[in-house]
């Protein structure tokens, strides 16, 4: 992992020491269960419970054997003396590797879950604070109709809720281990031992394993992490766009000693949101690799192994980093409601075009004629300093059909935003936040 994007909470169990500690945890649980079932001496299990390893020794053994699990078990066995012959007794490598990987994935996902919960609270805060802060909505990058900034943040909140549900589903997927032997058929150790070991570790037996836990579980986890990353990019891209000089409605927090450019002192760039965008692309690339790992030859091959050493730690570490960084952005987000109001005013009321169109249609005017009339007035408003409401009120073709009272209703901004409260009630924000 690149340490630049690895936060302390994640670093430990994806390190080499963390990996070997998780393997040793499984080996100890197996030895304890084997002793309880009379398969190995209790004295051996007690010795293995005190077993240690030395990374330098494992590295030296691996150079000889070209097999990391054998190198690990040799180091562990060496630390317990004569009882070492019972280390890894009846097991195959992936009984240990995959079961330990499940434990590490669960720990990583739970850290992300906690961080995602904190991020959700920031989305909720913005949604509640700016529930009635009007701004122009945009489609294709062009002014459309008014929304509130709160609605935009509410959309982020709802997606974060969905991603929390997906993440919890992925955690459940990963709560499986296997102590079922070389091809998953328990030829040396029976299902009763597996059940006992996994119960101690807080896992469930994989219903039908091969020599490995089926890789659709890991692919699902990566897919969920990819969705989360894509959701973060959606938020980041929106902030980046709204921070553009020409719009300037939002801004990333900018520290008092921060510098935006080595050459241009005036710059405040959305660098964190750009970083989130960049990392999101990487995480989504891991998803495709995870899918490729599902079809293995027969009961197993190693075509998944090398890339999983990269993509699984990297995906969890990066998504956790992105979650924390996006939380910081939202916590310090600069929301310029005055600029939002100014941009709304600069639209010249053209966002009322649909309301005017429908009002004319309701008088009996055919839709195409009404559309052409409103389009002409809207384009004229954009090319002049006179807004659409004023042009419509001065147009005889309009006033012949709509009186002053009807036009006032058409050009009432509150009319366009009257359903905001209904949308909030539908999400149940306060209860869920």
Calculate mean pLDDT across residues 66-89.
96
**According to the model, what pLDDT value does residue 1 have?**
64
Q: pLDDT tens-digit profile of 367-385? A: 999 999 999 999 999 888 8
Q: pLDDT-based confidence at 267, cuts 50/70/90?
A: confident
Which element (helix H / strand E) includes 95? helix 93-129
Domain coordinates of the chain in residue numbers? 3-9+102-341, 350-410
Which of 218, 226, 195, 210 shows the shortest CA–CA distance to 106? 218
**SS3 at position 334:** strand
Instruction: Check whether 432 has a pLDDT greater than 70.
Output: no
Architecture of domain 3-9+102-341: Up-down Bundle (1.20)
| 261 assigned to active site | yes
Q: How far apart are the C-alpha atoms of 393 and 403, rounded to whole Å?
A: 9
CA 286 to each of CA 14, 224, 312, 425: distance values in angstroms, whole numbers, following the listed order:
17, 11, 8, 37
Kind of pairing, strands 134-139 and 142-148? antiparallel
Tokens representing 211 are 């020599």
As a whole number of angstroms, the distance between CA 162 and CA 168 comes to: 10
Give 210-238 pLDDT, tens digit per residue.
999 999 999 999 999 999 999 999 999 99
Tens digit of pLDDT for each residue in 145-195? 999 999 999 999 999 999 999 999 999 999 999 999 999 999 999 999 999
* Percent of the chain clearing pLDDT 70 (strictly above): 99
What is residue 414's predicted lDDT score, i.e. its pLDDT? 87
Of the candidates 140, 256, 262, 298, the residue annotated as catalytic is 140
| Sole residue written with tokens 């750009």 | 274
Say what the pLDDT of residue 433 is: 44
Lowest mean pLDDT among 59-63, 167-171, 222-226, 256-260: 256-260
With a cut of 90, say whether residue 430 has pLDDT above it. no
Active-site residue, selected from the candidate residues 43, 114, 185, 261: 261
Specify the CATH number of the domain 350-410: 1.10.40.30
pLDDT at 237: 98
pLDDT on residue 32 = 98
- On whether the CB atoms of residues 251 and 269 are closer than 8 A, the answer is no
369 assigned to active site:
no
Average pLDDT over residues 342-358: 94
For residues 241 and 214, the answer to whether their CB atoms sit within 8 Å is: no
């Amino acid at each position: 992992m690149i340490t630049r994007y690895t936060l302390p909470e994640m670093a430990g169990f994806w390190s080499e020491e963390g990996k070997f500690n998780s393997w040793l945890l499984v080996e100890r649980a197996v030895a304890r269960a084997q002793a309880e079932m009379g398969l190995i001496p209790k004295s051996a299990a007690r010795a293995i419970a005190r077993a240690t390893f030395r990374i330098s020794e494992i590295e030296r053994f691996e150079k000889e054997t070209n097999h990391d699990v054998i190198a690990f078990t040799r180091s562990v066995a060496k630390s317990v003396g004569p009882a070492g012959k019972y280390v890894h007794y009846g097991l195959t490598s992936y009984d240990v590797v995959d079961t330990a990987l499940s434990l590490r994935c669960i720990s990583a996902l739970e850290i992300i879950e906690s961080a995602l919960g904190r991020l959700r609270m920031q989305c909720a805060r913005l949604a509640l604070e700016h529930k009635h802060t009007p701004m122009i909505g945009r489609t294709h990058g062009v002014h459309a109709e008014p929304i509130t900034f709160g609605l935009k943040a509410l959309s982020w909140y709802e997606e974060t809720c969905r991603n929390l549900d997906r993440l919890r589903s992925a955690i459940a997927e990963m709560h499986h281990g296997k102590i079922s032997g070389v091809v998953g058929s328990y030829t040396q150790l029976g299902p009763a031992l597996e059940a006992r070991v996994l119960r101690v570790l807080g896992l469930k037996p994989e219903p039908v394993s091969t020599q490995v836990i089926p890789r659709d579980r890991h692919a699902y986890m990566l897919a969920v992490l990819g969705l989360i990353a894509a959701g973060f990019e959606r938020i980041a891209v929106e902030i980046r766009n709204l921070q553009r000089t020409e719009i300037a409605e939002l801004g990333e927090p900018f520290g008092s000693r921060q510098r935006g450019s080595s050459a241009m002192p005036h710059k405040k760039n959305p660098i964190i949101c750009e970083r989130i965008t960049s990392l999101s692309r990487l995480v989504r690339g891991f998803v495709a690799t995870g899918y490729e790992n599902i079809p293995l030859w027969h009961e197993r091959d190693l075509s998944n192994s090398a890339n999983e050493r990269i993509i699984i730690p990297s995906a969890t570490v990066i998504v956790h980093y992105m979650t924390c960084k996006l939380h910081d952005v939202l916590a310090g987000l600069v929301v310029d409601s005055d600029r939002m109001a100014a941009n709304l005013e600069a639209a010249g009321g053209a966002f009322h075009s649909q309301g005017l169109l429908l009002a004319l249609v309701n008088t009996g005017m055919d839709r195409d004629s009404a559309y052409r009339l409103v389009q002409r007035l809207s384009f004229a408003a954009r090319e002049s300093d006179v807004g659409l409401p004023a042009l419509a009120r001065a147009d005889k073709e309009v006033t012949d059909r709509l009186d002053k009272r009807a036009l006032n209703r058409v050009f009432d901004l509150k009319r366009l935003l009257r359903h905001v409260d209904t949308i909030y009630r539908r999400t149940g924000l306060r209860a869920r936040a």
